C-alpha cells in the first residue's frame, strides 16, 4: 500500500482584516498592498485564540475528513514557528483530542515547515510501521507583526491546516525534497523584540529562483515531468513570487492554486490551507499529480509530489 493523504482540514479565525481596515491604522493603501503582494485580506486571531486552538480545530476536521478515530493516530507532528517554545503545540493538540496512543512533537522550518513535518511523519510510518499520522501546520503570525513596519505588517495572517496520512492504494506521496541554507537566515528572522525582520529584495530573489527548482526536482524524483503536473500548490507568500515562478516554469495559471488574496502569508499553515481550499473548490480531481512547494526563513525549502485520491477526500465539516 502507498502512504498518502487520506483526510484534510483547515481553520481560519473569524476576524477577517481587509486592506481597507489596515488603511485606518497605518500609512498604507489597498492599492499599494494589492499591486505589490496580491493580498486583499487576512485572518487575524483574537488575543485569546492560541496556535494550539487553531491547530486542534484543523486536526478535528482532518480526522472527520479521513473517517479516522483519534485512537488510530500514532503520531502528531505540528509545524509552527509562532507557538510557545514548550509544551509543544502537538502535545497540547494531543491532549485536546485525547490522542493517548500518539507520540507528539513540533518541527520548526518556518514557511516550509508543513512539508518538513509531512516528511517526518511519513518517515515514522516507514520506520516504525505506524498506520496513521496527523500532520499540522499552524501559525499566529499576527503575534510577530511590527505594525510600524508597513513592508512586513501587511503580509501575514493566521490559521491552521492539517492532513491525515495513511495507507491508500491510489493516493500517495511520490517524492519529498528538502533543503536549507543557514547563511541566508539574516534575510528573514525574528528580532530580539519578537518581531519579523525581512530583506524583501533578497527573499524575493531567493524564492523566485528556488520555487521552480524544487517543483522540477520533486517531479523528477517521482519519475515525472512538468507535463505530468496537474496542480501546483505553492506557498502563498507573494503573488509576484508565484507569478514569476509560473513564468519560469511556463505554467498556465489554471494549474496553480491561489489563496494569498484572502489568506495572506500564514507561514507553515499556508500550504495545507491552500490545499484544503483546492479540495473544496474542486480544483484537484481524482488521480491528478499535485506538487506542493514552499520556502521560508532559515532559509529553508521543500516540495512534494503527490498522487491525489479526490474521490475519497473531502474537507471535514466547518461547523
Residues forming the active site: 111, 235, 265
Do residues 97 and 56 touch, judged by C-beta distance below 8 A? yes
Instruction: Indicate the DSSP class of residue 259.
Output: -
Per DSSP, the three-state class of 219 is helix
Give strand pairing partners of 167: 3
Question: Strand 133-140 relative to strand 41-43: parallel, antiparallel, unpaired?
Answer: unpaired
Instruction: Indicate the DSSP class of residue 236.
Output: -
Q: What CA–CA distance (Å, rounded) separates 231 from 212? A: 14
- Measured from the Cβ of residue 47, the count of other Cβ atoms closer than 10 Å reads 8
Cα–Cα nearest to 268, from 77, 92, 38: 77
Do residues 288 and 308 touch, judged by C-beta distance below 8 A? yes
Residue with cell 524564492: 207
Amino acid at each position: 500500500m502507498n502512504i498518502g493523504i487520506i483526510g484534510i482540514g483547515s481553520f481560519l479565525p473569524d476576524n477577517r482584516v481587509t486592506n481597507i481596515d489596515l488603511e485606518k491604522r497605518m500609512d498604507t493603501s489597498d492599492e499599494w498592498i494589492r499591486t505589490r503582494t496580491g493580498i486583499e485580506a487576512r485572518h487575524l486571531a483574537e488575543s485569546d485564540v492560541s496556535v494550539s486552538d487553531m491547530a486542534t480545530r484543523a486536526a478535528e476536521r482532518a480526522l472527520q475528513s479521513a473517517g479516522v478515530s483519534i485512537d488510530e493516530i500514532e503520531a502528531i507532528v505540528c509545524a509552527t514557528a509562532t507557538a510557545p517554545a514548550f509544551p509543544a503545540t502537538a502535545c497540547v493538540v494531543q491532549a485536546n483530542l485525547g490522542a493517548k496512543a500518539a507520540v507528539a512533537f513540533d518541527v520548526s522550518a518556518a514557511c516550509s515547515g508543513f512539508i518538513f513535518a509531512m516528511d517526518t511523519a511519513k518517515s515514522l510510518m516507514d520506520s516504525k510501521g505506524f498506520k496513521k499520522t496527523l500532520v499540522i501546520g499552524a501559525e499566529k503570525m499576527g503575534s510577530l507583526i511590527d505594525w510600524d513596519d508597513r513592508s512586513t505588517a501587511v503580509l501575514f495572517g493566521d490559521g491552521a491546516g492539517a492532513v491525515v496520512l495513511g495507507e491508500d492504494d491510489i493516493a500517495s506521496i511520490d517524492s519529498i525534497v528538502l533543503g536549507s541554507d543557514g547563511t541566508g537566515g539574516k534575510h528573514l528572522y525574528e528580532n530580539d523584540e519578537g518581531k519579523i525582520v525581512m530583506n524583501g529584495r533578497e527573499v524575493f530573489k531567493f524564492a523566485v529562483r528556488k520555487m521552480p527548482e524544487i517543483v522540477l526536482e520533486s517531479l523528477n524524483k517521482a519519475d515525472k515531468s512538468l507535463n505530468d503536473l496537474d496542480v501546483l500548490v505553492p506557498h502563498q507568500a507573494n503573488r509576484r513570487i508565484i507569478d514569476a515562478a509560473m513564468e519560469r516554469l511556463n505554467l498556465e495559471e489554471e494549474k496553480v492554486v491561489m489563496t494569498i488574496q484572502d489568506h495572506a502569508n500564514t507561514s507553515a499553515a499556508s500550504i495545507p490551507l491552500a490545499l484544503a481550499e483546492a479540495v473544496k473548490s474542486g480544483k484537484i480531481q481524482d488521480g491528478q499529480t499535485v506538487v506542493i512547494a514552499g520556502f521560508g526563513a532559515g532559509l529553508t525549502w521543500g516540495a512534494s509530489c503527490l498522487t491525489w485520491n479526490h474521490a475519497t477526500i473531502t474537507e471535514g465539516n466547518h461547523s
